[in-house]
């Protein structure tokens, strides 16, 4: 499940992806636009900076901006950085695997195999989508609705 931290982080990155190259945004501006709690967003942006998704500029004219192009940042990467593994249970995780204490044989465990399928389905979607895709999604939906109505 996507946490509020993951959701607010994605929304902040989408906001930053809409800025002109080199343009920065203040935390207050991002928080107001996305209706995110400012203090919580500050902590999230620090985590996003540590993970290499954003840069910050201090002083007058400072703020946050993307560290890479929106087409280079995949949603799965962001969620893993903010929320941890995508897998619903640790034994189904690719990056954070942990053996279950009560498992006799993880290769034939029906629960693990099912959760591995869930993890793979989630990963397939999130690792294909980029910030550019999310940024452009509302615009694409508006065009599709107009075409259907007209």
For the chain, the structural domain boundaries read 4-149
Q: What are phi and psi of 27, to 5 degrees?
A: -55, -40
Q: Percentage of the chain with pLDDT > 90? A: 63
Give the separation between CA 52 and CA 16, rounded to whole angstroms. 14
pLDDT at 78 (0 to 100)? 97
CA-wise closest residue to 101 among 90, 93, 115, 116: 90
pTM of the entire structure? 0.85
CATH number of 4-149: 1.10.10.10
Q: What is the pLDDT of residues 55-109, one digit of tens each?
A: 999 888 889 999 999 999 999 999 999 999 888 888 888 877 878 888 788 788 8
Sign of CA dihedral 89, 47, 9, 136: negative
Q: What are phi and psi of 74, to 5 degrees?
A: -95, 140
């Amino acid at each position: 499940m996507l946490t509020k931290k993951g959701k607010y982080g994605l929304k902040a990155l989408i906001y930053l992806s809409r800025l002109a190259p080199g343009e920065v945004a203040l935390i207050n501006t991002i928080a107001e636009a996305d209706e995110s709690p400012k203090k919580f967003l500050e902590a999230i942006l620090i985590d996003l900076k540590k993970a290499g998704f954003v840069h910050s500029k201090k002083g007058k004219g400072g703020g946050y901006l993307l560290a890479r192009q929106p087409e280079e940042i995949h949603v799965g990467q962001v969620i893993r950085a903010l929320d941890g593994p995508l897998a619903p249970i640790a034994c189904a995780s690719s990056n954070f695997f942990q053996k279950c204490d009560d498992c006799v044989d993880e290769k034939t465990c029906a629960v693990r195999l099912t959760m591995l399928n869930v993890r793979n389905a989630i990963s397939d979607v999130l690792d294909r989508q980029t910030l550019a895709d999310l940024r452009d999604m509302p615009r694409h939906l508006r065009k599709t609705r107009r075409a259907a109505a007209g």
